[in-house]
A and B are shown apart, each in its own frame.
Chain A
């Protein structure tokens, strides 16, 4: 106990106050963008657990988000619409309208189950091979959703999902994701996981159960990706297979790499840049008049700026903005006082004990 445990407490209080102010004062546009930010944070942190800390460069996380999203949405879908829109399910499921929280958790769990089934054979692969195999999962899930029309409404998308979520749900889950991933990677398990990432054979020689360690990290990671999918569906009120396509794969990886692989702080930074920055560029895209001066529409400006930022970061800081370090109040304060200490991966203020 002491000063170190009060810091996270204060941080949570501040976040709560900020959320309260946001929910009461901001209009629906800002709330939606902030909601997407929270969901992207969950997605990036969960991807980072698998790819950054575990060395499993998964391109299948959009598939987990899709599975979790569709599961949660189907469970929580209004009974009045179920029979006409998704008639493929058995009667008992059509008559059931699950509350939001269990639906969300079941969505995450379903994604986890798929992660175990897929991970068992696929996690034997490493590097590029694993990336390609998991990319296959993304393709399979997408094609599955398109063709299972009676269960998912196909390419048209499952619309009419109730808007159950708000910033409290989303950032509550984001906080839970960060907490769980942080505790996990800074435990005995996490050290084993990083050992496997850094040197497969050495880890095995030290008695680490390589297959089990990787599978657990992959499964936990899939759970949070699935929950993020559920939050996304209940924020936008629609899920379509197009949301979980190659584009989603690219955006997810870009957010992680931009922030830094193997850093939770980096994941948050990456998500903030990729979600919030475009919102400031978009007004310039449509052209118009500013101070009487006409300027033309600059379509695609957002994508170009994001791409330039990615290139720049990769040139200047190939390890990502945060590298593999974490934000630490103690360290920042120490640096501020000019007594910069040597820092290791494990020095972080948000520590429980």
Chain B
């Protein structure tokens, strides 16, 4: 009997499936996840996915939600719009998930969120920071991070109040929406609160020579009190190094793009003194929940969280879990309504309120100072 082995294998497999299938306590709650683990966005979305998986594991180990475990169904967004839209369709119509978390880009979010909105399924954006994403999508759209306005406002307030700056120079990368947005919001806040913008200039993504901008700054008389650099990861280090080598010792403030280890590695520890930035969380141990998260992440994956998007992925699951616990029943609509009632969320990326259905959460922004090549926490602030 040549087929005997096959049959035994099949029979035992079926038996196992029957045993492990419906017998295992309660039905799992299906939570959809869309994160790109291949392509350009894998660098930021893969840590988010890993942290989200960790959060699901912790919640299930603690007994799940209302006695039911969470089952996270993840599809690779492949950093491609059509694949992300397909993943959303698949989660909504094939897997019939109750809620969705995912993506770290506003465009990716806007490509997939209308699908969840049409089906009446809450969809939480993990990392896209355009402030009014929920308004653009509808009542089922939610955001985990603060909007770009918040971090630029906090940066402007810090420059004015803590650094005592009265004048500023603005350098912005003209090629990306994110840098354009934070630059515009910084300008708005800084001038509104009595500061004066002496000059501004535009650079381009991937520029390797900032000497024109540096000459422009040095030719200003009087010199500005602070430089706000709305740049993308990679370019930040290049600019900071060249500015310092060009003799500019002024404070430089940046956005959450500065929050990457390459800043100090490529610019040098000495050059990054007097550099500050706003970000989603401080990955420096504080002894509290952040420390616990970092330790758990290390234990699970052998490395500390790569960047703040890990924290945002972790918090995305925590927020959904809190909404599920608060919801009157485990339905998409009830969970969606429950999200708006969460006003005292306390996650690893800070305290937040999700009461406003149209905008990014009212959430703390983390301020970091670079000292001796290390990221030191200044504090968590709201504008």
Contact = CB atoms under 8 A, between A and B. Distances in A.
Interface of A: 27-29, 32-33, 36, 146-147, 149, 154-157, 159-160, 236-238, 240, 242-243, 247, 279, 282, 285-286, 289, 291-293, 297, 299-300, 302-303
A32 B81 contact: no
A238 B111 contact: yes
B89 A32 contact: yes
Nearest to A232: B82
B37 A299 contact: yes
A154 B184 CA distance: 15
B38 A299 contact: yes
7 contacts: A29-B90, A29-B92, A154-B177, A243-B82, A293-B16, A299-B38, A303-B78
Nearest to B178: A155
B127 to A, nearest CB: 14
Contacts of A237: 111, 114
B129 to A, nearest CB: 11
B171 interface: no
B81 A243 contact: yes
Q: Which 3 A-B pairs have the closest CB atoms?
A: A292-B16, A29-B89, A291-B13
B274 interface: no
B94 to A, nearest CB: 5
Main secondary structure of the interface of B (DSSP, over half): helix
B106 interface: yes
Contact of B16 (A236, A242, A291, A299): A291
Interface string B32-62: 0000011000000000000000000000000
Contacts of A149: 177, 180
Contacts of B176: 146, 155
B17 interface: yes
B86 A292 contact: no
B9 to A, nearest CB: 9
A36 B82 contact: yes
B110 interface: yes
Interface stretch (B68-76, B154-162, B299-307): B68-76
Contacts of B14: 291
Contacts of B82: 36, 236, 243
Given A27-B94, A155-B177, A243-B81, A285 B76 contact: yes
A156 B111 contact: no
Q: Is the interface of A mostly helix, strand, loop or mixed?
A: helix
Contact of A28 (B76, B89, B130, B177): B89
Contacts, number: 100
A155 B86 contact: no
A33 B136 contact: no
B38 A242 contact: no
B85 interface: yes
B17 A279 contact: no
Contacts of A299: 37-38, 76
Contact of A292 (B17, B80, B90, B92): B17
B107 interface: yes
Contacts of B175: 146-147, 155
Contacts of A247: 80
B20 A289 contact: yes
A279 B85 CA distance: 13
A326 to B, nearest CB: 28
B115 interface: yes
B374 interface: no
A159 B107 CA distance: 8
Interface in B102-122: 106-107, 110-111, 114-115
Contacts of A279: 86
B107 A156 contact: yes
Nearest to B71: A288
Nearest to B40: A242
B206 to A, nearest CB: 12
A146 B90 CA distance: 30
Contact of B86 (A33, A156, A242, A303): A33
Contacts of A302: 76, 78
Contact of B93 (A27, A147, A159, A243): A27
B90 A238 contact: no
Contacts of A243: 80-82
B111 A282 contact: no
Contacts of A289: 20
Given A240-B107, A293-B13, A299-B37, A285 B20 contact: no
B86 A286 contact: no
B304 to A, nearest CB: 21
B30 to A, nearest CB: 12
A29 B107 contact: no
B258 to A, nearest CB: 19
Contacts of B75: 282, 285-286
